[in-house]
Structure 1
């Protein structure tokens, strides 16, 4: 098959013949693929090694020396078809992509975020950078104010991607933080958020990143095929800078989730429990799970039990006197059991209470309202909807947190609307 006359007057690089040059130029003009994707396809099909940068440069030189109109496009289609290359769709010419010359960064070819060997994902980014980033944000009083910014341990890795992709990473991260802030504004501050919900939000924004990247450079290359075991382990086969950039962004967002979860956990541990007004308790939560009596109804002695919500662990509403009795080491019912494991655990989910929780609970009511009045203000009272099942939210998993001691200032605040700021 003779090469098309479209390419006969074009200077062919030394490592390419005229026919192969025609394939490269036709794919660059018709496929809508990124230069990286074309490079991989040529390597797979022809064992031809030509860089993404070279592909972009060749096409740029070719289109500037001629006018490409409908007849030329049809000729390129025929040229590819004669070589058994059929394009399902015709995309943008590479010369019309605004990203310009692709910047190629070397990423690990095979990478797993759980790999313990401290392998770098790319230059200047690995497990050490991630750990330092988490510590950096945890050290800030209100980390959500700066979560959209790169930490000092992420900047070099992102900047090496070039100005176009760097800006895309930062703008996507900002959108993700805004979405997360909106989510927090719609739920009670003490509720745990399911990891699946975090993951869904991250994946949505990684898709946005991919869309933005493809607007700049063309269709991103596919990930490499993994073995069943690699799929199970979460191993990635990275074949391009575009893919690597997407994984890098995903890891940075995941690290920010770690920061947010830790801050929210610390706040739950610090607060421990909050008082609940009887009128704000949903109808299906008015029965104390310990004594099975209705909270707020006077007992034979005329006393109405105060209700509290266990924000430290499962978020359940319980009678305060009941949990005090449950944790009382002098209670004869407890002394008859193996009390050592029960005296500091939640009667509902069996989470281990820290000493800060026990000290606060066992403080005299009057003293508590004086010394711990911050926690008893009306803005912490739950409204009538707090026990509804929010989408993607769980009331608490009941996991043991252990004795963390008395936490003082963790850099979180609750505003007048009852919203938690981290």
Structure 2
């Protein structure tokens, strides 16, 4: 079963049982049967004519039948087989509305088809009900009453909605006022904080610039220190080479001193031999003098020779003693030189060890210095980046301060708009209530 529109449902409840079960005529029914229906039902104003499947093809109106009966020849016409056998002569168009058709008011259909005596209602194209003109007038009155009630209900709903909207708009206006005031206060505070942040960012940027300059100076000094350490490292390598050469020279000198000591020992041995020979010669001269004395005058020449030989032996002995003393002095000097050489060797060894330690320390310090220089360079770069970020933060803070000022102005405009909206709504509701 199809779903009917709301006004059609109300129409079904409004129809009487007689209207929902109207009399009808078939197309081939005699005209006398139509007359009999109108005579039997005094309130009948139209009689639907249907085909074989109960679809209305038109209607016979009560005024046409009455006009026929009031005609002096009416009864004769009814008895005439050519005229009274069928109802075709009196069928006229009649307004028809289908309850399952488009959602249109039957009163609109009735008015559109210029109805006068009534109209036919169908469902799915078949006869369903007949409504007289008088009942249609009452239906129109009921529809108007229903529309009036609907309009009154709508007015009451509008009034209630207006009151509710008025309350809601008043609350909304209060909220907008509070929001605008809070927004303006927040914008002012934001502008102040943004100004403070901008000043702090500028100060921090200046401090970072000073730090960057200081780091740049440290980087330059560190590079100079690294260059100095490089030079020290090179000098240390040279000193180590010189120390190795000095050690080699000391070793060669020690070998020469050893040779000199051996030569001095050889000289001492020769001096001892010379001293022994001088002693033997002196002893022989003494023996020769004794023998010359025994010889008397014949040995006087030997005495002179023995005396000379004794003198030469004495000179040779003294010379040997002097040479021995000199050799002893040389050996003492060689001993002292040897001792000094040992101390020199110890000092050179200490210097070589110290040089190696210095070289290691310089190498480590060189690595550390280069690392420091690299770190300082990276710090300079990062400081530059941070300074750029701080500058951008300062610019953002300035922009935020400007935006906050704009927001404060917008909040003031919003507050004015809220006041104007509230006043406009009050005027609208006043005019609506007055209407």
Q: Tell me the TM-score normalized by structure 2.
A: 0.23
Highest relative contact order (Cα 8 Å, sep 6+), 1 or 2? Answer: 2
Q: Which has the larger radius of gyration?
A: 2
Q: Tell me the TM-score normalized by structure 1.
A: 0.24
Q: Whose helix fraction is larger, Structure 1's or Structure 2's?
A: 2
